[in-house]
Structure 1
Amino acid sequence: MEKLKELPPLSPIPSERELCDTFGVSRPTVRRALEELENDGELVRLPGKGTFVAEKKYVDHAMQWSIGFYEDASMQNKAPTTKVLQQTIVPATAEIAKRLAVQQDSEVFVLERLRFVDGEPICLVTSYLPYALCTDLPKANFAEQSLYAFLKEYGIAIHRAKRSIEVKQANVTEAAYLSIEKDSPIVLFQSLGFMKDGTPFEYVRSRYPAYKARFENEVFQPAVESELP
């Protein structure tokens, strides 16, 4: 661990033979240590390339809480910033209309932002909302203000959400914005938010570089009043 602290992120580590000679231990011992460091997130193994010092990952809690990006990053003592890439009104495609339960070609507000943590691009997020829900959306400065905080001023808040994550390959646009190579693995996080009356009001697609973010969730055993026979 002391040796790793001397190396910048994504630096290759010494070979197993070099580590054996340096610490005077056997190769199985070195391999076990490397496995434990990889499991702890201190190292990352890239097939065909080797083992490298891992970048310190941003931990996203969106799978567990209805929490905004700024609040989540600030709780981790990280500096969040946002660049607005698109803030416009477009006709709803068939897919977006179905998700938001609106008519196809009806007006949808699209907000696309590039999120940074400590100056590094960490997330490309695109949000879709029915424009009729709040016609003041295009006037807001979402580089400085949270979307959820803005909606709350109009009495609109998320009550529940359906969320999923999967791994895909970055296309040219995603790779350019996230400063990674095309076809690099990215985590696609999707969320459909509902208001208290069950109306869907926001569909979100967020893309994270796979090696820079980690999602955390806490699971509880549901309370059972009586055991089945």
Structure 2
Amino acid sequence: MQRDTWQIVKDHLASDIDSGKLLPGTRLPTEPELCEVFGVGRHSVRRAVSALAVEGKLRVEQGRGTFVEATRLINYQIGRRTRFRENLTGQGYKPSGEHLSTTIVPAPDRVAEALRIARGAEVHRIMRRGRADDMPINLGIAFHPVALFPDLGARREAGVSVTEIYRDHGVTDYFRKSTTVFTRRAEPEESRLLRQHPDHPVMVVTKIDVDTKGTALGYSEAVWAGDRVQFSFDSLDDPFVGEEGKTP
């Protein structure tokens, strides 16, 4: 049975990606160039590229081109002392963060409940995009009480880490008190900022950080690229896990 032209193009590109001939991050030739290489029309090239994007092998970025997607999943370990930078550097990635916005807003109900503050109390709302080797992997929105950290917004915008800001305010150590993970469809703006295919899902992780006395320091909601990251949870890092590795 004769295959359609677009399937031939798709299989050829997929073979080059799987064999390593086209490495992650490689920019594909333009659509007209691919048409010339394969001797096919634009429709066949577009359908082949679209199919590979849905499979997660290619990433189409409006205005920039089509790129080979990363195939190795980042194993992001979540424990009591999860730190973004340490998680990535330990796997050979270069971590970086991009500041997107800083505002002071009245705490929404869910934020006030998580931080144990009055509804409507002022909180810093910080939005950042996390990268691994310049590849976007998450969008994070963090909330911190203004009463505890009045200068946090400006310092985060200047690139100062949360850990350093906490330390300057007398917080010598802090822990992840709780974590919630669920998946959903990506919103269009999330897909754009994460540079992922609109049909790919995202994983949403919410967490609450507390100090050693149990005071809530921050609440965050992070949207992760579902085809680039997997999570592992370290039970040995949990203070409530007994010697046999089971929760009493």
User: Please, what TM-score do these two structures have when normalized by structure 2?
Assistant: 0.66
Paired residues, number? 188
How far residue 143 of structure 1 moved from its aligned partner, in angstroms, is: 5.8
Cα drift, residue 54 of structure 1 = 6.0
How far apart are 1:120 and its partner, in Å? 0.8
State yes or no: 1:205 paired with 2:221.
yes
1:50 Cα offset (Å): 6.0
| 1:147-200, Cα deviation, whole Å (9 max, x unpaired) | 122212212232341012111111122112111233520111111112222222
RMSD: 2.9
- Give the 3-state SS of the residue equivalent to 2:198 in structure 1: coil
Matches within 5 A, 1:1-229: 4-9=19-24, 55-61=71-77, 63-142=78-157, 144-156=159-171, 157-220=173-236, 222-223=242-243
Q: 1:141 to 1:159 in 2, by over 3 A?
A: closer
Distance in structure 2 (CA, Å) of the matches to 1:153 and 1:93? 27
Q: Is the 8 A contact 1:83 1:143 kept in 2?
A: no
Aligned-partner Cα distance in 2 for 1:50–1:107: 43
Q: Which runs of 5+ in 1 are unaligned?
A: 12-45, 225-229
Amino acid at match of 2:243: A
How far off its partner does 1:137 sit?
0.8
Which runs of no fewer than 5 residues in structure 2 stay unpaired?
A: 1-17, 27-50, 58-68
* Residue identity matched to 2:169: Y
Cα 1:202–1:98 change in 2 (3 A) is: same
CA distance in 2, matches of 1:70, 1:166: 23
Identity %: 22
Question: TM-score with structure 1 length normalisation?
Answer: 0.71
Supply the distance in 2 between the matched residues of 1:143 and 1:80 (Cα, whole angstroms): 17
Q: Is the 8 A contact 1:171 1:183 kept in 2?
A: no
